[in-house]
Structure 1
Amino acid sequence: MFPVTGAVWLDVMGSHTPAGNAGQDTTRTTRRQWVAVAVLSLSTFVVVTSEMLPVGVLTPMAEGVGTGTGAAGLSLTITGLVTAVTAPTVPRLLGGQDRRRVLAVAMVVLAVGNALTAVADGFGALVVSRVVLGLGMGAVWGLASAVAVRLVAARDTALAVSLAVGGVAAASVVGVPLGTAVGNALGWRAAFASLAGAALLLAAALPLVLPGLPRPAAPGGADPREAPAPLWRTPAVAVGLVLIALLVTAHFAAYTYVRPVLEEVTGLSPTPIALMLLVYGVFGLAGNFLAGAWAARRARATLLTLTAGVVASVGLLALLGTLTAVTGAGVALWGLAYGGVSVAGQIWMTQAAPERTEQVTGVYVGIFTAAIALGAFLGGLAVEAISLPLLLGGAAALAAVALAVGLLGPGPAPRARGGGAAAGAPVTTPDEESLISRS
């Protein structure tokens, strides 16, 4: 794996210089602090696995709640819409609340959502369960990257954030394939019940391993209670959000129905399908870390290259998806390309608005998950009306539009090394600085 180097991440996020106590070494991250990062990464892993598991168990889940695959796929739309509202709203509503406690409560909410999914006996009950799950997901995913950078010493912020975002990518590698395997062996309800249990364990662990995390200080000494200017007035932020919205919509219009594609177009049985999803996930995890290393230096070039990879891979499946070998290659390329989108987009955003990390992360996650919802919704409509290859072709075309937006619009300005406050670094308080020195 190739996480971003600490020095490069400082250019992305702004200066991060913990003061700590006099005479105490704050240049190294302690073992306890790494444990905190690991628990945060596991939390994002469980969050995104909970969201994405319907992809792997879509057919039996649809049968279990007595609806079609298109309607069952809309469960992703529901979760995405709720998360899209929750993620950007949470940072504004939290005030001085300790982020550690907020994350723990959000994981409890996530556990309740998974438990309700496991016992859903109809489409209405499924809708309620996914609304609850979206509330927990929005809070956790919206805060994860902003919290990760506050947990470790300056030189380790790159690895910390890569691991936090890596939990999202790892959900495809381990979470969805494992959940699919559990669903095949014990039933899809058992898979969601297992996720509920895991979320409760993490809810108990978060307050034990995380330090106190008060509200970040406002940039430049500004009053945090005052409403700042909308982020989308920054051209690079606006272009990045439009690109991400189009690309993620295209991806999920196709990926939500990847199991029916592999079943009906390629002709695979459940076990090979689980292996295909594993291939996708492994390459996706590799893409996450490779993209993180590259995007820290060239965010625009990285995200455009990944977008082109999605266009090529989905287009390949649309044209030659009946061939198993070609499908395998296309799924691997798809995973490699899309696996890096989340971290590359996050770096694009933080480079475009480095002084408002928590806010831009919330907006980014909101747009990202809204696009998930829209993609699943459009895919659900299309899968009932057109053939699966045409659905893939339409998704590839929409991803090509995203590529055009990125090529024609501005990207974030390169960050000067050693920027500090002069480069727009966020202002920190002594309490925030001392978080790093506490173990």
Structure 2
Amino acid sequence: MATAHAARGADRPYGAGDAAPPPAADGPAHWTAVAGVSLGIFTIVTTEILPVGVLPTLADDFGTSDGTAGLLMTLPGILAACCAPLVMAAVGRLDRRIVLTALMALLCLANVLTAAAPAFWVVLVARALVGLVIGGFWSAGAGLAPRLVPAAAVGTATAVIFAAVPAGSVLGVPAGTLLGQQAGWRSAFAILAVLAFAVAVLLARSLPALPVDATVGLRAIGALLRIRGVRLGLAVTGLLVVGHFAAYTYVAAFLRDVTRVDGAQATAGLLVYGAAGVAGNFLASRALARSLRGAVAAYAGGIGAVTLLFPLLGQSWPGAVGLLVVWGFLYGGVPAAAQTWFARSAPDAPEAAAVVFTSSFQAALAGGALLGGVVVDAASLSAVMFFAATVCAAAGAAVAVPAARKSP
């Protein structure tokens, strides 16, 4: 490591030192820890999205409007985007095993507060804590695969970690919604609190010591933004995620009002989408290994084509299901592709790259949902699909920007 430092010299581009090195190719494999990180992200994703399924009853219980209750969805995403760099700067060189365990314990507390909330403002406080957890856990955990498994297994470990994203949608949210319908929305958050506590214990017991020899300060993140590959990654993944969530946020409403299916069929369609996303996530590692730029271009062009066709073919139930399968499969690889892009653009600053990934992804998620709502209110559900197609096409065009010196 000292030799590598000397070779780069004082003018290395990141100015923040290096995180602890990954294990050697023949080093130990901490697969239980990989599973723990994946379960942590699964719990976070389920907690973040669950209000979608229980919003009406929660709003009725507190006597708020659906629009006001909608803050429970937008607040965590906005705070996660803002908190990711702040949390990582605050924890400094603290062992990441301690950081991840503490953040999962904080998620447990947030869900306990939600389940027991006597007033709506308490739920808002709890959701603010959820946003803090999202920003910190994703930043510290999303890029851990190289430090937990040998080099040859990093692709598989990354796929396992990111499988939690579609799994949270296809398993966690429907299960939580069903539980909320049967036993009340508070019970769903109580179960999530228990799950978060169990994951905290698992992480404490399975993660190896994860020291770092560099802090992820705001200056280091600023230095990262001067790298052309990072800036290009922000443009490409930002546009792609905005386009996706502008359309996906309202796909259930499209199925109801345009495809004209009942609630059970719409739920089945979303389950099919989620299952395809899990498959797409696991197959993404091969595509990313062959050509990261090619994979991102395929995701952008494919999702753009699907959303463009949705107002046409999605008017029939078979057409809508077919498009949802393709859409889910393509988007399943997007989170891993975005994280990989930033990691390759800044190989000497993996944790700072993870912070940039987390902040940009969460900001794009919230921005996409917001812009989609503006288009739906101003025009129609079909119009938001065309809008999403245009944004995704712009993401595909951005991939064609000539490679930078440190481009992935």
Is contact 2:101–2:204 with CA below 8 Å preserved after alignment? Answer: yes
- Residue 114 of structure 1 is matched in structure 2 by 111
1:34 is matched with which residue: 31, 39, 42? 31
One-letter amino acid of the counterpart of residue 27, structure 1: D
How far does residue 110 in structure 1 lie from its aligned partner after superposition? Answer: 1.5
5+ unaligned residues in a row in structure 2: which ranges? 1-18
Q: Distance in 1 between matches of 2:379 and 2:58?
A: 22
- Residue 140 of structure 1 is matched in structure 2 by 137
Structure 1 residues 379 and 197, CA, compared in 2 at 3 Å: closer, same or farther?
farther
Q: Distance in 1 between matches of 2:158 and 2:63?
A: 41
Task: Tell me the TM-score normalized by structure 1.
Answer: 0.80
- The percentage of counterpart residues that share the same residue type is 40
- Residue 358 of structure 2 is matched in structure 1 by 365
Structure 1 residues 160 and 105, CA, compared in 2 at 3 Å: closer, same or farther?
same
SS in 2 for 1:27: coil
Moved more, 275-284 or 256-265: 256-265
- Residue 393 of structure 1 is matched in structure 2 by 386
How far does residue 414 in structure 1 lie from its aligned partner after superposition? Answer: 7.5
Aligned: 1:277 with 2:270: yes
1:82-231 equivalences in 2 (<5 Å): 82-119=79-116, 124-215=121-212, 217-218=213-214, 227-228=219-220, 230-231=223-224
Over residues 94-121 of structure 1, what are the superposed CA-to-partner deviations in whole Å (9 max), with x where a residue is unaligned?
A: 2221111111111122223333444557
- Residue 14 of structure 2 is matched in structure 1 by none
Q: Distance in 1 between matches of 2:389 and 2:72?
A: 23
- Residue 294 of structure 1 is matched in structure 2 by 287
Aligned residues: 390
How far does residue 328 in structure 1 lie from its aligned partner after superposition? Answer: 0.7
- Residue 234 of structure 2 is matched in structure 1 by 241
5+ unaligned residues in a row in structure 1: which ranges? 1-13, 20-25, 416-439
- Residue 80 of structure 1 is matched in structure 2 by 77
Task: Tell me the TM-score normalized by structure 2.
Answer: 0.86
Aligned: 1:49 with 2:46: yes
Structure 1 residues 126 and 404, CA, compared in 2 at 3 Å: closer, same or farther?
farther
RMSD (CA atoms)? 2.9
Q: Distance in 1 between matches of 2:134 and 2:262?
A: 31
- Residue 8 of structure 1 is matched in structure 2 by none
Q: Distance in 2 between matches of 1:226 and 1:126?
A: 30
One-letter amino acid of the counterpart of residue 109, structure 2: V
How far does residue 71 in structure 1 lie from its aligned partner after superposition? Answer: 4.7
Is contact 2:114–2:123 with CA below 8 Å preserved after alignment? Answer: yes
Structure 1 residues 180 and 295, CA, compared in 2 at 3 Å: closer, same or farther?
same
How far does residue 66 in structure 1 lie from its aligned partner after superposition? Answer: 4.5
Higher relative contact order (CA 8 A, sep 6+): 1
